[in-house]
Amino acid sequence: MFQSRTHTCNDLRIEDVGSKVTLAGYYENMRKVSRNLGFLILRDFYGTTQIVIETEEMMEKLSGVNTESTMQITGVVRERSSKNPDLPTGDIEVVPESITILGDCIYKELPFEINRSKEADENTRLKYRYLDLRNPAVRSGIVLRSKVIAELRRAMTEHGFMEITTPILTCSSPEGARDYLVPSRLHEGKFYALPQAPQQFKQILMASGFDRYFQIAPCFRDEDARADRSPGEFYQLDMEMAFASQDDVFEVLEDVLPPVFARYGKYDKASKAPFKRIAYNDAMETYGTDKPDLRIDLTLTDATDLMKGTGFEPFDNADVIKAIPVHGFEGSRKVIDKIASDAEVVSGVKAYWIKCGDDGAGIAGGVSKFLQDKADKVIETYELKAGDVVFITAGKRGEALKGGGTLIKTIGRCVPGHMDKEAYEFCWIVDFPMYEIGEESGELEFCHNPFSMPQGGLEALNNEDPLKILAYQYDLVCNGVELSSGAVRNHDPKIMVKAFEMVGLGEEDVKAKFPAMYNAFCYGAPPHAGIAPGVDRMIMLIAGEESIREIIPFPMNKNAEDLMMGAPAEVDKKQLDDVHIAIVRENKD
């Protein structure tokens, strides 16, 4: 039987020379010098150790053993004659007395080289995730995830929050995305749903007399994958506070998050409290997005009055024209055109530009020929100097803002000097509209969370233009990534009913859709507020990864498939019969 190792593959140092040790790990590779000399690298979770094979007998024992097999090695530590200063164990090596093969790797050819697995095709990596995770560079993201979650738990507990787990099997409710449904065996024709978030449960906890709740909550949404969003399931730092305001929530997260980012992050700079607060409408007008990246020092300015009436049709027909002056631009025309082209591909909105002349007088390039009559005014307005560039976007308000926001991010990443790439910049986006006109329905809809408290309460709902009512709702943004939405909750049944009436749902609809929460609030609920930053997104930012799949142990691919486990998969007829389900195939003829 396998006996415990005496050391890990990262433990041994020069002071261990002469000790008899037992190591266990993976056979990473061997550099074979002759029939009786070879240098084997043994790797475990913690590191690597060099094993020196010095006899034909030992070499023969390893004949036919494939790399990535697991083995136990007992031997004596000695000082290396050729040290490796880049390795913690680089001063020593182990001369084996016995080698025991613990687990054979039966495949001579691996799907990829372990230490270069990140270079492999993503689907191959996901299919062989157990091999991918053997790569220390991949595994480090999962180790980081564990440390960050432990630190978040510690910090929340220190702030007086109690961790409470909420149900996974619940009822379907309109949360804004598609539910994952689970058919009931005992109740024919009825379904559970996996929770999109613990929203209702945590609010009911507040109505139940709990004061501060949190959990690292699993959430399930049937939505498409993105670089910063995993399909199917994700985790969030879910929290709620009774007798709390928006400022109370901000104070907690402004104290909890920066130390975690600064300690574990790729960059050691993180915003300190208080985070900058930006009203939603101001964010859209200034940055072209409600997810601004404050590491970039560029903003939008309104150029509608300045650039209309020039004879250039896209400007003359535009409702809004936005300009982004970029000072100290040193790129060529080819660079300018590429920035405009790349931004247009992402946003779908045409990007234009003009450049201040090399002598600091006049404008040239791009659409400058249409603005020559206003050249002096343009230079004066934007304080242009030789070589400065102004990027421009135009169209309906939404188009101009979207195009401008994309340009800001594209310029920030491409033009040196306009983005501090080694920092974490947090901000709060506040004062979201309570309602909006739906793009598809053309009807009044909730802009974001229907459980948010409207600013002005019942009086505002009764007397104000719905499109001008703001909500006590807020987003937390870091480096242009939305980490979370939160809100002061609508805890008053009268206000709740009225808020839903505005979108065509009556009191009976509210009672039917949210029976437990509505009834709980009817017994007297405290004002409460909360938020739920995405754990996966936070760790992605902390690790400096571009894809969220790099920090999830067993992620799905972009098509919501688990290639390693083969999910989703068909099930047999008996399983379907047990839950009263019949599969009806679509006739595609």
Q: What is 296-414's CATH number, 3.30.70.1230, 3.30.1360.30, 3.40.50.300, 3.40.1310.30?
A: 3.30.1360.30
> What local confidence, expressed as pLDDT, does residue 586 receive?
79
- As to burial, measured by CB atoms within 10 angstroms (0-12 exposed, 13-18 middle, 19+ buried), residue 456 is middle
> Mind listing the pLDDT tens digit for each residue in 507-525?
998 898 889 999 999 999 9
Domain 14-103 matching CATH 3.30.360.10: the answer reads: no
Task: Check residue 451 and give its pLDDT.
Answer: 86
Mean pLDDT of all residues in 282-291: 97
Residue 24: strand pairing partners: 72
Q: Which residue has the tokens 């034909």?
A: 56
H or E stretch at 301:
strand 301-302
pLDDT at 1 over 50: no
| Fold type of domain 139-277+426-554 | BirA Bifunctional Protein; domain 2 (3.30.930)
Q: Which of 251-255, 302-306, 513-517, 527-531 has the lowest mean pLDDT?
A: 513-517
* pTM over the 0.85 mark: yes
The amino acid occupying position 546 is: E
| Domain 14-103 and domain 296-414 have a common topology | no
Domain ranges across the chain: 14-103, 139-277+426-554, 296-414
Strands 212-221, 162-163: pairing is: parallel
* Contact predicate 487/530, CB 8 Å: yes
Q: What is the pLDDT of residues 568-589, one digit of tens each?
A: 999 999 999 999 999 988 776 6
Residue found under tokens 């030789």 = 386
**Cα torsion through 412, 416, 420, 426, rounded to 10:** -10
pLDDT digits (tens, 9 = 90+) for 129-180: 999 999 999 999 999 999 999 999 999 999 999 999 999 999 987 666 889 9
| Residue pair 333/354 in contact by the 8 Å Cβ criterion | no
pLDDT given at position 174: 67
Is residue 23 classed exposed, middle or buried when 0-12, 13-18 and 19+ CB atoms within 10 A define those classes?
buried
